[in-house]
């Protein structure tokens, strides 16, 4: 595994290795065991999209592994203000040992990986959010003891989180059903790729416009904000389109009695779910948020241990 850009790009064995390493690093960190396996390493963190969880979890994670993070906002670098990604990738590869980028255009991440000579980590693009999906399935495994054969229901916008969950569930052998309003469905190419990935372990992928169909008998219920960053001008239109997709206790009750509720945060109570659901006994959203730290530590460890500049 040279980069972590899309879960579609890695094998299900590599995906399981990441989950196992994340769980090990979490256990040991909580028991006081330290791993400075990235001592002397520097991770450049490029943010053209602001963040709370991504920045804090990556900075804390590499610190716990003995390395250091360098935060670069859109105002700190020349990318997008005249300097090409080609030049940026070449120069950064001489300075640091890895790059995490959180940005709008997915092509920016692909270009960094193509032109640079160091590991690239996708912290989020408009198309994919693989770090979130890795932490999500880590959380499911903690609470359910397994992944294969479980059903995850995603209710809401067919966005970057939904896309990465499709890939992650396919690699883990989990069934996934996605319910979105017409016009807000997942990208057809992503769905096609996920269905192809799912054949290896035999999991099912269901795409529907019916939230009841999606959530029935689900082990995991997942939702996300209806208007993501950059879509603020569409909020009123989206609120109308997503009426009927709110996860309230009535809809949640159609999942299995021991199901868990997940949300990648930030969450907007009274919109995509009710407070009763997200603050209730089935919710594991804060375990899920914490696991961003441990999942990303596993990604950095697998990519950056050794002389990353020379592979």
DSSP 176: E
Active site residue 224: yes
Cα distance between residue 159 and residue 195, in whole Å: 17
Active site residue 106: no
Task: State how far the alpha carbon of 204 is from the alpha carbons of 64, 127, 191, 196, in Å.
Answer: 38, 22, 12, 11
Task: State how far the alpha carbon of 254 is from the alpha carbons of 2, 206, 219, 301, in Å.
Answer: 41, 17, 10, 40
Active site residue 292: yes
Q: Among residues 53, 55, 292, 294, which one is catalytic?
A: 292
Q: Tell me the backbone φ, ψ of residue 264, rounded to 5 degrees.
A: -80, -15
Cis previous bond, 266, omega within 30: yes
Task: State how far the alpha carbon of 65 is from the alpha carbons of 37, 56, 215, 283, 296, in Å.
Answer: 6, 14, 39, 30, 11
Q: Among residues 102, 163, 238, 294, which one is catalytic?
A: 102
- Are 139 and 206 spatial neighbours (Cβ–Cβ below 8 Å)? no
Residue 218 backbone class (left: φ over 0; alpha: ψ -120 to 50; beta: rest): beta
Q: Among residues 3, 8, 53, 129, which one is catalytic?
A: 129
Active site residue 132: yes
Active site residue 282: no
Q: 3-class DSSP state for residue 123?
A: strand
* Beta strand ranges found along the chain (DSSP E): 42-47, 68-73, 98-102, 120-124, 151-155, 175-179, 205-208, 220-223, 260-263
Q: Tell me the backbone φ, ψ of residue 266, rounded to 5 degrees.
A: -70, 150
Q: Among residues 97, 224, 246, 296, which one is catalytic?
A: 224
Beta strand 175-179 with 151-155 is parallel
Contacts of 91 (CB under 8 A, 6+ apart): none
CA 253 to chain centre: 26
Active-site residue set: 102, 129, 132, 224, 264, 292
């Amino acid at each position: 595994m040279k980069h972590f850009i899309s879960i579609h790009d890695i094998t299900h064995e590599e995906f399981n290795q990441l989950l196992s390493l994340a769980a090990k690093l979490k256990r040991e960190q909580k028991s006081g065991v330290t791993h400075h396996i990235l001592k002397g390493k520097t991770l450049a963190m490029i943010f053209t999209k602001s963040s709370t969880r991504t920045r804090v979890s990556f900075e804390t994670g590499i610190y716990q592994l003995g390395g250091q993070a360098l935060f670069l906002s859109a105002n700190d670098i020349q990318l997008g203000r005249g300097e090409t990604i080609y030049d940026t990738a070449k120069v950064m590869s001489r300075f640091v040992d890895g790059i995490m980028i959180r940005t709008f255009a997915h092509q920016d991440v692909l270009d960094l990986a193509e032109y640079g000579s160091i590991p690239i980590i996708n912290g989020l693009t408009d198309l994919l959010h693989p770090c979130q999906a890795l932490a999500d399935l880590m959380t499911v495994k903690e609470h359910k003891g397994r992944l294969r054969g479980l059903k995850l229901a995603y209710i809401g916008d067919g966005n970057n989180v939904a896309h990465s969950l499709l890939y992650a569930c396919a690699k883990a052998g989990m069934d996934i059903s996605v319910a979105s309003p017409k016009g807000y469905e997942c990208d057809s190419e992503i769905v096609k790729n996920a269905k192809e990935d799912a054949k290896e372990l035999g999991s099912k992928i269901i795409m529907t416009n019916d939230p009841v169909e999606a959530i029935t008998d689900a082990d995991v219920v997942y939702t996300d904000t209806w208007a993501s960053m950059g879509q603020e001008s569409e909020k009123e239109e989206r609120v109308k389109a997503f009426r009927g997709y709110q996860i309230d206790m009535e809809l949640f009750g159609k999942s299995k009695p021991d199901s868990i509720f997940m949300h990648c945060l930030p969450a907007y109570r009274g919109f995509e779910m009710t407070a009763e659901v997200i603050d209730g006994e089935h919710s594991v959203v804060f375990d899920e948020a914490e696991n961003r730290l441990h999942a990303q530590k596993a990604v950095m460890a697998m990519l950056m241990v050794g002389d990353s500049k020379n592979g």
